Amino acid sequence: MISLSNNHKGASVVLAYNCTGKLMLLDYYGNPFEKYRIFINQTTQLDSIIQTNPKNIEIRLLRYTIQHNCPAFLQYDNDISNDIKMIKKYFSQEDKCLQDHIKTILKSY
């Protein structure tokens, strides 16, 4: 995901996937200080992408997924309810393929 998105960082959705991929890799880092530094950097960037694209539910789904799976002690869960509301609000405006993808992910939670 990261290597594919590195070549197309101009698109907000691709940049959000790049951030998400880097956050997913944190499970494999040993140094907790480095993990935390990367976590703060990538979550800040993801939040910034959402601020500039507030109606993009694919990006909101990525943040929702990260926040839902994030350890509680990191306190990165402030936007869960807002993201799910926005996903539901704009869900019908997305194409069928993305709707099916979103349904699949949300069913797992």
Would you state the structure tokens that stand for residue 18, as one six-digit string?
Answer: 């790049």
Q: What is the pTM of this model?
A: 0.88
Amino acid in position 1: M
Residues 29-39 have pLDDT tens digits of: 999 999 999 99
Alpha-carbon gap, residue 72 to 51, rounded angstroms: 23
What is the C-alpha separation between 19 and 86, in angstroms, rounded?
Answer: 20
Condensed to tens digits (0 to 9), the pLDDT of residues 41-64 reads: 999 999 999 999 999 999 999 999
